[in-house]
Chain A
Amino acid sequence: MPKPLFPVWQKRLTLIAALGLALTGMGQMPIFSRYYIADLPGLGWLGNYQITAALHLALGAALVFLLTSYAASWLAAGAARPTLTTAGKWRVALYGAVALTGVVRVLQNGSWAMVGPMNVRYLDWLHLALAMGLLVFAMAAGRKGAVAARR
């Protein structure tokens, strides 16, 4: 029997990266220090923007790598391509949009700015709203399969 196109370990890595990104993304706002969370033993790093920003980028690179590898495998699979469920389509849309807005923000900080200075706020707000949407989706339908079982 062939191994599944999307192995369990890759899904687990994706979950770890997404949870880490959610935590370090929240850390971009000045809340962990204000609410004493960074005072807890072992969590001091959550109040350090240099650390959370670096981790957010590193985890972002990992997530983009995993997402694009899913997409490439799915597209290249041809007739063996699994069918996406409704939950799977939502997952693709939300993960894809969060990753895309994140990559555009990285480009914005480099020398390929795509967004005017006074519109960067909309990019940031969209990225935040999509991340919150992904969180709501994960709580509501996170355990539903992304691909339909093959008959």
Chain B
Amino acid sequence: MNRRAFLKSLGTAMAAAPVAAPLLARDAAAASGEQLATLFDLSKCIGCGACVAACRAAHAADYPNPQKPFPKMYPERAKVEDFSDKRDVDDRLTPYNWLFIQTVTVTRNGKAISLNIPRRCMHCVHPPCAELCPWGSAVRHDDGAVAIDANICLGGAKCRDVCPWHIPQRQTGVGLYLDLLPAFAGNGVMYKCDRCHGRVAAGGKPACIEACPNDVQTIGPRREIIAAAHDLARQTGGFLYGETENGGTNTLYVSPIPFEELHAALQPSPGNPGLQAAADVMGKEKNLATAVLLAPLAGIAAGILRVANRARKAAKEDDHA
């Protein structure tokens, strides 16, 4: 087998990748109903903050307690991110506030309408934070909750960079990096909502759901929650967010106002995520991932073809001799 034929077989394998993609259906786990999802009926939220208070109480023991002064970090580009003196901030996401309420006012048909939107991690079906974390500290549990293990996170903030909503928040001066090379690698620990994974695993509900006086949020198997979200949107003439954003999330919002209008009014900023039409981050790599899985088949075929060609050539040379 010559170089051209060899590379051709590699090219064929790469070209076959999209065809084989269904073999690796990325949503199989989500479709199986094992994952839990939550549905927010935004028309019910009065912005009372009971969910925020319940979240803070439930996770008080999980919040960071950094020691100061922080280690000097090199180079200077590595900046300290410190919310330890601003633990009471509750109008954005911080390492001490994993859920907050955005209040948006939009004008529709000449009338000003205000809407309260509880915001926290969307718990994506294919979370880029977990799938691209190089250290294995961000994980997606089988029930669909996405969590960051504070015991091993190094605070590199890649999870925040790749998250379409930039949800995780960093606290410097805590975590494993202090025991490794605090001056040269790492920068603390990333924190975000884990959808009360421990409480749910023990048969309970997330604290925010239990505390809500208006039943804004419900939790259940993803398939049922999606069906309920569509029913609610149909009955109320509402709009849906979260079913397809970033390839699908386990957090669905139904709003009486289109999300494009809400996003335009939000003015996203650090810790204050938008409601944009988020593209599927991990879906972009689906075909390449499939090519990796098909490469062994193409490689084996190429290797065998090479040996067969050599044998054929050797036999031909023997005939001529």
Contacts and interface: CB of A to CB of B under 8 A. Distances in A.
Interface of A: 2-3, 5, 7, 9-10, 28-31, 33-36, 49-50, 53-54, 57-58, 60-62, 64-77, 80, 102-103, 106-107, 109-113, 117-118, 120-125, 128
Contacts of B80: none
Nearest to B281: A50
Given A10-B6, A60-B292, A111 B27 contact: yes
A110 B30 CA distance: 11
A53 to B, nearest CB: 6
Contacts, number: 154
Contacts of B156: 29-30
B298 A73 contact: no
A7 B133 CA distance: 37
B291 A58 contact: yes
Q: Per DSSP, are chain A's interface residues mostly helix, strand or loop, or mixed?
A: helix
A140 B36 CA distance: 51
A57 B292 contact: yes
Nearest to A77: B307
Interface string B136-150: 110111100000010
Contact of B288 (A61, A65, A111): A61
Contacts of B185: 31
Interface stretch (B88-96, B157-165, B212-220, B227-235): B157-165
B136 A73 contact: no
Contact of B299 (A64, A111, A112, A128): A64
Nearest to A33: B77
Interface of B: 3, 6, 10, 13-14, 24-29, 75, 77-78, 126, 130-137, 139-142, 149, 152, 156-158, 161-162, 185, 281-282, 284-285, 288-289, 291-296, 298-304, 306-308, 310, 313-314
Q: Which of B28, B29, B295 has the most CB of A within 10 A?
A: B295
A122 B293 CA distance: 21
A73 B284 CA distance: 33
A30 B158 contact: yes
B78 A110 contact: no
A70 B304 CA distance: 9
Contacts of B10: 62, 65
A36 B75 contact: yes
Contact of A57 (B140, B285, B300): B285
Nearest to A29: B134
B13 A65 contact: yes
Contacts of A71: 299-300, 303
A126 B171 CA distance: 27
Counting from the closest, the 7 A-B pairs by CB-CB distance are: A72-B303, A121-B136, A68-B299, A57-B288, A111-B28, A64-B295, A117-B139
A143 B308 CA distance: 29
Given A3-B310, A109-B126, A58 B134 contact: no
B154 to A, nearest CB: 9
A102 B126 CA distance: 18
A21 to B, nearest CB: 11
A103 B293 contact: yes
Contact of B300 (A7, A9, A68, A106): A68
Given A69-B300, A69-B303, A111 B26 contact: yes
Contacts of A122: 136
A121 B135 contact: yes
B141 A72 contact: no
Contacts of B3: 7, 9
Given A57-B285, A109-B282, A124-B136, A102 B29 contact: no
A32 to B, nearest CB: 12
Given A34-B78, A57-B289, A72-B302, A28 B28 contact: no
Contacts of B28: 111
A112 B25 CA distance: 9
A112 to B, nearest CB: 7
A2 B313 CA distance: 9
A117 B140 contact: yes
Nearest to A7: B3
A73 B294 CA distance: 18
B126 to A, nearest CB: 7
Q: Which of A33, A72, A128 has the most CB of B within 10 A?
A: A72
A110 B291 CA distance: 12
18 contacts: A2-B310, A2-B314, A10-B6, A36-B75, A49-B161, A61-B13, A61-B14, A69-B303, A69-B306, A71-B300, A72-B300, A72-B304, A72-B307, A77-B307, A103-B293, A110-B293, A111-B26, A117-B141
